[in-house]
Structure 1
Amino acid sequence: MKFTVTQIAQVVGGTVEGDSAATVSTLAKIEEAGPGALAFLANAKYEPFLYTTRATALIVSPELVLRQPVGAALIRVADPYSAFTKLLEFYQQTTRTGRRGVEQPSFLGAGSTIGAGHYRGAFSYIGENCVLGENVLIFPHAYVGDRVRIGDNSVIHAGARVYADTVIGQRCVIKAGAVVGTDGFGFAPQPDGSYKAIPQIGNVMLEDDVSIGANATVDCATMGSTLVRQGAKIDNLVQLAHNVEVGRHTVIAAQTGISGSSKVGDYCVLAGQVGLVGHIVLANRTTLAAQSGVQKSVREEGQVLQGYPAFNLKDNLRAAAVYRRLPELERRLTALEKNPLAPDKM
């Protein structure tokens, strides 16, 4: 599928410099692009590739000043990164497989309904009394339990599991192998030292535009709902325990675990391998650096934390600098203890 530079500019709302009639048929990185490719430049460290790339067209910033002639047509937009993301979405939509209808064998339970334009792949299972909207895609080997509700234009990828009573909004994506709505980790200790399972009778609710990554797990609530709010993006291999709440447009990277009943605010960023204890609150716009561990609530908005236990990023970096010097400081202390009158030559 080919598009002219002018057509691309219309999609991203940009202005063209150079050959507006040139055509592109693929997207590529600026350092790897060849003829017929469209790339973008958003990071200054890639600017040298601007003059060597073989791309047919480039998305760049209006402020970019050319240091020498370029061979590609330029599409200038206010935010090249966001524009390229929009273009990737456009490309995905125009090249989508367009699968519709029902492959056999598949199962649709009694009392369940599914809207127009849907797709049910082979070996998919939909339980009883489910309500699925229009253009919902259920890929092969996906499982949807009883009484599940899925909004328009949502996608359940191959091998995903959506347990009973889960509510999924519009334009949500559940990626391969994800499990949404399984029992939370609730066990009551018994006098003999054993543990008895506590029934988990709540559900999971995903609001609109939520993404759940491959092999991620979202546990159902003990009572009430585990809640992932609008626009939140959950990476692969993330664990959200029972009764957790994730705020709007929060992003959570891989191998993060959030313990039961903790509440993460809006617009937060949790990097990889972050851990939260249970029953705490993260204020809106909190950022947690990779491998941070949070043991108590963060009440002040906009903080950037790092470490275990997590505390202010700048203080943590200063503490790390001191930590690296501990062997040297120990040698100096030992020398002073042996001969306190000797000058410190370290």
Structure 2
Amino acid sequence: MRKNASQGEKEEERMGKRLAEIAQWVQGTLRGDPERCIRGVAGIEDAGEEDITFLAAPRYLSQLATSRAAAVIVPPGVSVDRDAIEVSNPYLAFARLLELFYPPEPLRPQISERAYVAPSARLGQGIVCYPFVYIDEGAEIGDGVVLYPGVFIGRGVKIGPRTVLYPNVSVYPGVRIGADVIIHSGAVIGADGFGFTRDEQGEHYRIPQVGTVQIEDRVEIGANVCIDRATLKSTIIRRGTKIDNLVHIAHNVEVGAHSLLLAQVGIAGSVRVGEGVTLAGQVGVLDHVTIGDQAVIIAQSGVAKDVPPRAVLTGSPAIDHRHWRRVQSCIPRLPDLVARLRHLEQRIAALEKGEERP
């Protein structure tokens, strides 16, 4: 009897993957049994007898001693007591293994009857458009784009191929989004920048924000991120940058390629962030600051002036991380130092009055 597709898929899942196949997938060197069957991927402590795990660094060897994992991915030169695949970057190999064992469920191209698509909008091939999506006039949606329920696409928006917008993403008019971009739920791209001046009566006068936002290829934007449109030109997120949840990027900002912006980062207007920069959680950046390439700003720091390339800064205001550590090491000793200072002041005062011999 012919098996249906679901039965075949379940049987294939039970069969797992041969170690030789896994080694080829991660471009590693196999040390062990090429025919060993692996049925899952897990961390060192959680791995079962048919799982493969990974050793990110030699310091985790002690944890591996008690692991039940059948095989392990290791960095070069590390010997273990079981089948292993040697790779230059175990964590990257682990990520690729997750793709091998847990591929995304394929979506069937469709445009829901309950979605609104304006007559002048242009849709590519293989689009998935779920109910309650709104696509305004003049929008252009590339091949293979996925729009989940509640997505709003404003007038004249352009979205490149294979981009995914999760539920309730709002893309304001005129925004440009590249290929292979992922935007998670609740993100707002292209809202007005926060621009006001004072009028003759001293009241706040709104400055029209007539620019746009440009998101380049392979950018990922987390849930509830806000990226404001520029006043005149473009707020730009360069290729490959990854933005965590709850980040705010103000108008006229430019974020360089392959940067990382972690949760609750706030960037004020007209900031220039270089390539490969890391802004850790809750970092705040003052307007018109420039941050050099490869700089790292540690969590909860406040950046109030330009940052040179490759600098590592901490604190508020942010200072060199090594200097900050020295400052922090002094803080716990301050009460004792103050007490000693007061005692010395009292002795000096007594000496000046002639009440104590030196």
Letter in 2 for 1:181: G
**Separation in structure 1 between the aligned mates of residue 219 and residue 152 of structure 2, nearest angstrom:** 19
More deviation, 178-187/102-111: 102-111
Q: 1:118 to 1:38 in 2, by over 3 A?
A: farther
Structure 1 residue 156, shift from structure 2 partner: 0.5
CA distance in 1, matches of 2:189, 2:293: 25
2:44 matches 1:30: yes
Residue 169 (str. 1) matches residue 183 (str. 2): no
Structure 1 runs of 4+ aligned residues shifted over 4 Å read none
Measure, in 2, the Cα distance between the counterparts of 1:58 and 1:97. Answer: 29
Structure with greater Cα Rg: 2
| Alpha-carbon distance in structure 2 between the residues aligned to 1:189 and 1:324 | 46
| Residue of structure 2 aligned with 1:285, choices 294, 313, 328 | 294
| Equivalent AA in structure 1 for residue 228 of structure 2 | D
Residue in structure 2 matched with residue 241 of structure 1 by the alignment: 250
Q: How does 1:104-253 map to 2 (within 5 A)?
A: 104-253=113-262
Matched residue type, 2:157:
V
Residues in 2 aligned to 1:129 and 1:274: alpha-carbon distance in whole angstroms? 38
Contact 1:104 1:123 in 2 (8 A): no
1:62-101, aligned counterparts within 5 Å? 62-66=76-80, 69-70=81-82, 73-91=83-101, 94-101=103-110
Offset at 1:195?
0.9
Which deviates the most, 168-177 or 41-50?
A: 41-50
1:142 is displaced (CA, Å) by: 1.3
For residue 327 of structure 2, what is the aligned residue in structure 1? 319
- Distance of 1:24 and 1:118 partners within structure 2: 35
- Tell me if structure 1 keeps the 8 A contact 2:164–2:181: yes
Q: Is contact 2:58-2:78 (8 Å) kept?
A: no
Q: How far did residue 113 of structure 1 move?
A: 1.6
Q: What is the identity percentage for the equivalent residue pairs of Structure 1 and Structure 2?
A: 40
**C-alpha spacing 1:125/1:56, structure 2 compared with 1 (3 Å):** farther
Letter in structure 1 aligned against 2:142: G
Tell me the number of residue pairs that the alignment of Structure 1 and Structure 2 aligns. Answer: 336
Alignment TM-score, normalising by the size of structure 1: 0.93
Partner AA of 1:330 in structure 2: V
**Within-5 A mapping of 1:247-326:** 247-298=256-307, 300-326=308-334
CA displacement 1:40-74 (0-9 Å, x = unmatched)? 111333222322222233211121023xx33xx31
> 2:45 is matched by which residue type in structure 1?
E
Match in the other structure for 2:59:
45
Helix, strand or coil at the partner of 1:339: helix
Change (3 A) 1:292 1:280: same
5+ long unaligned stretches in structure 1: none
Partner of 2:10: none
**Counterpart in 1 of 2:74?**
60
Counterpart secondary structure, 2:94: helix
Distance (Å, rounded) in 2 between the aligned partners of 1:35 and 1:126: 50
1:332 has 2:340 as partner: yes
Q: 1:336 to 1:99 in 2, by over 3 A?
A: farther
Amino acid at match of 2:333: R
For 1:231 and 1:90, the matched residues in 2 are separated by: 22
**What secondary structure is seen at the aligned counterpart in 1 of 2:338?**
helix
Separation in 2 of the partners of 1:9 and 1:114? 40
* Aligned CA distance change for structure 1 residues 16 and 240 (closer, same or farther; 3 Å): same
Residues of 2 paired with 1:58 and 1:98: CA distance? 33
What whole-Å deviation, never above 9, does each CA across 1:155-180 have from its counterpart, x for those lacking one?
10111111111111111110111111
Q: Which moved more, 1:181-190 or 1:56-65?
A: 56-65
List per-residue Cα deviations over 1:224-254 (Å, max 9, x = no partner): 0000001111110000000000001010100
Report the CA distance between 1:90 and its aligned residue.
4.2
Render the CA deviation track for 1:282-318: whole Å, top value 9, x for unaligned: 11111100111111112x3111111111111101111
Is 1:11 aligned with 2:11?
A: no
In structure 1, what is the Cα distance between the partners aligned to 2:288 and 2:296? Answer: 18
The question of whether the paired residues in 1 share the 8 Å contact of 2:107 and 2:128 is answered with no
SS, match of residue 52 in structure 2:
strand
Structure 2 residue ranges without an equivalent (≥5): 1-12, 352-358
How far did residue 84 of structure 1 move? 1.4
